[in-house]
């Protein structure tokens, strides 16, 4: 396969294009950031160079797609990368629009997911492979082509971002480079199931992005049953990693709690979350579970929490002095809501 230029940082692009002068690499980098799909569109390059480049490089990964539009403004893009894919390998990325009109790109870092969370469709599909930086960037460029102005990026799509940290770093470096897309790192959030060594690596080596922990429950035993990946990631170590992240200047973290009806919404569950949050600069984000057909926990079908469960649980956290927000549902009409990505018919 030809090297794919869209997945290269500016420095990598400059080195790859030697003996071309560095300013040519900057020009090409800017064109990629503008979303062009062919070298021929780069009209400030000499014609001969535009004709020579396609024999040596691919501009962007070879991709086919399907696009689904939801009534609430959500757009889900389903991408296939035929040259890299295994059978059944589809990557989904979602454009979310909130009530104030802000648009957020929800990007995937893996095809499938190794975490195995019982409440997540992606987790039920198993792990296929890591995405490379060009495939992560392709998602962003597709969504940027649909909504020119994006307010935020969240790495909360398919996969565990900290299991693909090197490619995630490259993608973020490309997205935030001031010679190209120049997106602010402080408007980028990485969500993790709680991979302590990855959180520490992120704190020590950057990039300086926002961090969200998919906590779900602070009951250690229940968490391990709901999220098999956490068996080797005890909450004590995760909290130490979060404190290290904040001590290194990482700022407030978000603790995400997917509310599962009758499972993690009780009085003891709220008390455990409050204890875990002590000493952290944290905000709690409550996410009522989005239904996925066929998912169950220990032989019983999962269910959405009723409004009373959500209200009481919220009140208990607020009474403990915690800052609590509730994520309002977006994307269910195109199976693009939290926990619904991967494998469902649209």
- Annotation marks residue 113 as catalytic: no
In a domain, 257, yes or no: yes
At 48, which CATH number? Answer: 1.10.150
Encode the chain in three state secondary structure: CCCEHHHCCHHHHHHHCCCCCHHHHHHHHHHHHCCCCCHHHCCCCCHHHHHHHHHHCECCCCCEEEEEECCCCCEEEEEECCCCCCCCCCEEEEEEECCCCCEEEECCCEEECCCCCCCCHHHHHCEEEECCHHHHHHHHHHHHHHCCCCCEEEECCCCCHHHHHHHHHHHHHHHHCCCCCCCCHHHEEEEECCCHHHHHHHHHHCCCCEEEEECCCCCHHHHHHHCHHHHHCCHHHHHHHHHHHHHCCCCCEEEEEEECCCCCCCHHHHHHHHHHHCCCCEEEEEEECCCCCCCEECCEECCCCCHHHHHHHHHHHHHCCCEEEECCCCCHHHCCCCCCCCCCCC
Say which CATH number the domain at 220 has: 3.20.20.70
User: Which residue, 20, 39, 56, sits at the end of a domain?
Assistant: 56
Residue 51 lies in a domain: yes
Does 343 map to a domain? no
Instruction: Select which of 12, 14, 92, 167 is catalytic.
Output: 92
For residue 336, CA distances in Å to 8, 77, 248 come to 29, 9, 34
240 and 96 within one domain: yes
Q: Show which of 22, 37, 56 is a domain's final residue.
A: 56
Nearest residue to 138 (alpha-carbon basis) of 209, 58, 69, 207: 58
Same domain, 136 and 35: no
Task: Report how far residue 292's alpha carbon sits from residue 303's, in angstroms, rounded to the nearest whole number.
Answer: 9
| Tokens encoding 294 | 């066929």
The answer as to whether 218 is a domain residue is yes
* Domain C-terminal end among 39, 56, 73: 56
Residues 155 and 12 in one domain: no
Give, for all 346 residues of the chain, the pLDDT tens digit.
899 999 999 999 999 999 999 999 999 999 999 999 999 999 999 999 999 999 999 999 998 889 999 998 999 999 998 766 666 678 999 999 988 889 999 999 999 999 999 999 999 888 999 999 999 999 999 999 999 799 999 999 999 999 999 999 999 999 999 999 999 999 999 999 999 999 999 999 999 999 999 999 999 999 999 999 999 999 999 999 999 999 999 999 999 999 999 999 999 999 999 999 999 999 999 999 998 989 999 999 999 999 999 999 999 999 999 999 987 767 777 877 788 888 655 4
Owner of token pair 């797609």: 65
* Same domain assignment for residues 152 and 21: no
Residues 22 and 102 in one domain: no
> Could you tell me if 170 and 21 lie in one domain?
no
Is 345 among the domain residues? no
Q: Which residue in the list 113, 117, 120, 338 is annotated as catalytic? A: 338
Q: What residues make up the domain containing 295?
A: 64-334
Active-site annotation holds for 197 = no
Q: Angle 307-319/267-277 helices, nearest 10 degrees?
A: 40
One domain for residues 22 and 109: no
Residues 134 and 213 in one domain: yes
For residue 339, is it within any domain?
no
Question: What is the pLDDT, as a whole number, of residue 99?
Answer: 85
Same domain? For 135 and 156 the reply is: yes
Q: Are residues 165 and 49 in the same domain?
A: no
Residues 84 and 24 in one domain: no
User: Does residue 315 lie within any of the structural domains?
Assistant: yes
pLDDT of residue 337: 77
Q: Which CA distances in Å does 34 have to 30, 142, 175?
A: 6, 11, 11
Q: Evaluate whether residue 342 is within a structural domain.
A: no
User: How many structural domains is the chain composed of?
Assistant: 2
Residues 101 and 28 reside in one and the same domain: no
């Amino acid at each position: 396969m030809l090297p794919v230029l869209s997945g290269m940082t500016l420095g990598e692009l400059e080195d790859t294009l030697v003996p071309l002068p560095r300013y040519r690499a900057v020009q090409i980098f800017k064109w990629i950031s503008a979303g062009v799909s062919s070298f021929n569109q780069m009209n400030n390059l000499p014609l001969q160079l535009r004709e020579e480049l396609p024999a040596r490089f691919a501009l962007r990964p070879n991709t086919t797609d399907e696009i689904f539009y939801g009534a609430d403004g959500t757009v889900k893009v389903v991408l296939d990368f035929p040259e890299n894919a295994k059978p059944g390998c589809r990557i989904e990325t979602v454009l979310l629009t909130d009530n104030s009109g802000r648009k957020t790109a929800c990007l995937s870092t893996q095809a499938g997911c190794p975490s195995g969370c019982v409440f997540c469709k992606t987790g039920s599909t198993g792990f296929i492979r890591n995405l490379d930086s060009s495939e992560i960037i392709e998602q962003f460029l597709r969504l940027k082509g649909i909504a020119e102005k994006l307010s935020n990026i969240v790495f909360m799509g398919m996969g565990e971002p900290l299991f693909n940290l090197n490619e995630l770093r490259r993608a973020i470096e490309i997205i935030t480079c001031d010679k190209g897309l120049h997106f602010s790192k402080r408007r980028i959030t990485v969500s993790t199931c709680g991979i302590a060594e990855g959180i520490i690596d992120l704190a020590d080596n950057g990039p300086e992005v926002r961090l969200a922990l998919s906590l779900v429950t602070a009951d250690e035993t229940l968490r391990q049953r709901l999220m098999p990946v956490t068996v080797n990631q005890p909450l004590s170590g995760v909290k130490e990693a979060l404190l290290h992240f904040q001590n290194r200047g990482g700022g407030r973290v978000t603790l995400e709690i997917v509310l599962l009806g009758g499972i993690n919404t009780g009085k003891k569950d709220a008390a455990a979350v409050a204890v875990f949050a002590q000493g952290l600069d944290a905000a709690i984000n409550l996410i009522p579970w989005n239904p996925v057909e066929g998912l169950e926990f220990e032989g019983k079908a999962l269910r959405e929490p009723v409004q009373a469960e959500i209200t009481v649980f919220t009140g208990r956290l607020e009474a403990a002095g915690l800052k609590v927000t509730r994520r309002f549902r977006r994307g269910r009409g195109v199976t693009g809501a939290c926990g619904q990505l991967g494998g469902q018919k649209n």
